[in-house]
Amino acid sequence: MKRIPSVIAAGATTGTPAWLATQNDRAAFRLLLTHGPLSRSQLGELSGMSKPTAGQMIARLERAGLIGPAGEVTGARGPNATSYGVRTDSLTGVAISMLEERIEAVLVDSTGTGHPVAVLVTGTDRTPAGDVTAAVVAACAAAGVGRDSVSLVVIGVQAAFDSASDRLSFTDTLPGWPAQGARAAIEEATGLAVIIENDVNLATLAEGAASGLVDFAYLWLGEGLGAGLDAGGHLQRGATGSAGEIGYLEVPRSALAIDPEALDFTDLVGRPGLTALLGCDTYAEAIAALPGNGRALESLADRIALLVDILAAVADPSKVVLGGPTALAGAERLAALVQARVALRRDLPVLPARAGARPVLLGARRLLVESIRERLEDAIVASAGKEE
């Protein structure tokens, strides 16, 4: 095991004993999250603390209900030592991808343990609270846990969301959701803390984690279009949360030679453009037909390159990643074709996405794990205050 240098004791002369104990407990909790179950000796070694101090940290975290016995450590001299791990039932959340015809949801705990994804078909009578309640119930049932531990949800929506005003815009795929007050309505009806985020922003988070990229633009190619902008590892959401809504951009004059009927980039590259290009009735049929159709891939690359040029001019990213269902269908061949066209004008790598088939849910999961861990660390501080 790699030892993590302790920076906690450095402030001992300026902090009170209670403050120092709290900082120690927070560091111990992070080590348990990073390494999994540890014995007192292992925790002491990793934290740089003595075995008695490590035992005190474990005792306080166990009293706070954040950790518990997880087994025994064998192989060392003497009796087997008890190992302690983070309790996954103390606080959980549900990651939700809100789609037009279905909802995907998965339970999330502080350790990031994988749980089954629940998929619900949406009906006609939809409300924000109804959608989220159904998603939470389904995710808990799929994971085999009770609803009581769920305290927060992260919801990915195909819309722009202004967190400050609780306002949704560009909500073409959210029937029954009001433009104003969706988050407040969900919180009031469910008692859960709610984070609403644009789906492409969540996919961008997932891509950054999967590929290790920073300072990149993530171009979502699906029935609709969107872009996520990562600047130094931070999402750029814009003043009202609508940064990256590029599907509504009017096409340039150079697009007339490709598709004279296209008015905006959704017409050119989204569902209307792809179904017309492949002669299919539905987007699903077009996606299935795309991988083996060389002529369609060439034409699609011409269209995407126009969009990449705009992203490059406005955001100046170090790389552009192609994600979404269309990009997954085109895979590395499509990315290479777009790269060849972009390279004629600028040195900008174009890469296929690496975050898998459910990047929105993966990004929501990542955001949830961070939020849950922050809340659990806050519980450490609150517990320390009660013991003073």
What was the pLDDT predicted at 173?
85
- 249 and 345, same domain (yes or no): yes
- 222 and 314, same domain (yes or no): yes
Listed residues 56, 87, 118: the one ending a domain = 87
What was the pLDDT predicted at 385?
58
What was the pLDDT predicted at 75?
56
CATH number, domain of 41, equals 1.10.10.10
pLDDT tens for 355-384 read 999 999 999 999 999 999 999 888 888 776
pLDDT tens for 219-237 read 999 999 999 999 999 999 9
- 216 and 349, same domain (yes or no): yes
What proportion of the chain, given as a percentage, has pLDDT over 70? Answer: 93
- 83 and 100, same domain (yes or no): no
- 353 and 215, same domain (yes or no): yes
Listed residues 87, 121, 144: the one ending a domain = 87
- 145 and 115, same domain (yes or no): yes
Residue 4 lies in a domain: no
What was the pLDDT predicted at 2?
38
pLDDT tens for 97-126 read 999 889 999 999 998 888 999 999 998 889
Average of pLDDT values for 292-308? 97
Residue 56 lies in a domain: yes
> Which residues, 6 or more positions from 166, have their beta carbon under 8 angstroms from its beta carbon?
180, 181, 182, 183, 184
- 215 and 347, same domain (yes or no): yes
Return the higher-pLDDT residue of 2 and 343: 343
Is the pLDDT score of 289 beyond 90?
A: yes
What proportion of the chain, given as a percentage, has pLDDT over 90? Answer: 76
If pLDDT is split at 50, 70 and 90, which confidence band does 15 have?
Answer: low
- 318 and 223, same domain (yes or no): yes
Prediction pTM value:
0.88
What was the pLDDT predicted at 12?
35
What was the pLDDT predicted at 16?
79
Residue 165 lies in a domain: yes
Q: How many CB atoms lie within 10 A of CB 272?
A: 18
What was the pLDDT predicted at 9?
35
- 141 and 48, same domain (yes or no): no
β-strands 150-157, 92-98: how paired? parallel
Residue 236 lies in a domain: yes
Q: Provide the residue range defining the domain that includes 141.
A: 92-191+361-375
- 37 and 134, same domain (yes or no): no
pLDDT tens for 44-69 read 999 999 989 999 999 999 998 899 99
Residue 238 lies in a domain: yes
Listed residues 87, 104, 135: the one ending a domain = 87
- 215 and 353, same domain (yes or no): yes
pLDDT tens for 251-271 read 999 999 999 999 999 999 999
- 105 and 169, same domain (yes or no): yes
How buried is residue 383: exposed, middle or buried, by Cβ count under 10 Å (0-12/13-18/19+)?
middle
What was the pLDDT predicted at 180?
96
Residue 134 lies in a domain: yes
Return the higher-pLDDT residue of 217 and 87: 217
What is the number of domains present in the chain? 3
Average predicted confidence (pLDDT) for the chain: 91
Of 41-45, 130-134, 185-189, the poorest mean pLDDT is in 41-45
CATH number, domain of 339, equals 3.30.420.40
pLDDT tens for 313-340 read 999 999 999 999 999 999 999 999 999 9
Is the pLDDT score of 309 beyond 60?
A: yes
What is the distance between the alpha carbons of residues 115 and 122, in angstroms, rounded to a whole number? Answer: 22
What was the pLDDT predicted at 7?
37
Residue 253 lies in a domain: yes
Residue 206 lies in a domain: no
